[in-house]
Amino acid sequence: MGSKTNYVVKTKTWLIKALIIVEYTSFMSVACYYDPETPWWLIPVLWIIAGYLIAIWIRREGF
């Protein structure tokens, strides 16, 4: 029973972290899109970094 509880807690924690990263990246992408001073390559770089952070957490949590 304890291992299932730990798995649920780890899953919820991971989902919250992933949601925070995706929401922050979405906000920054929109902000960068409407700012004429932003270089064109910054938005894809933000999404690549977000995906990399989520992949690290998935690997570290052992899913």
- 11-59: pLDDT as tens digits: 778 788 888 888 888 888 888 888 888 888 888 888 999 889 888 887 8
Confidence of residue 3 (pLDDT cuts 50, 70, 90): low
**Which of helix, strand or coil describes residue 43?**
helix
Rg over CA atoms, the chain: 15
What does the domain layout of the chain look like in residue ranges? 2-61
User: In sequence order, which residues have a C-beta less than 8 Å from that of residue 60 and are 6 or more positions away?
Assistant: none
Apex CA 52: angle with CA 11 and CA 3, to 5°?
Answer: 20
How far is C-alpha 35 from the geometric centre of its chain's CA atoms?
23
* d(C-alpha 61, C-alpha 30), whole Å: 30
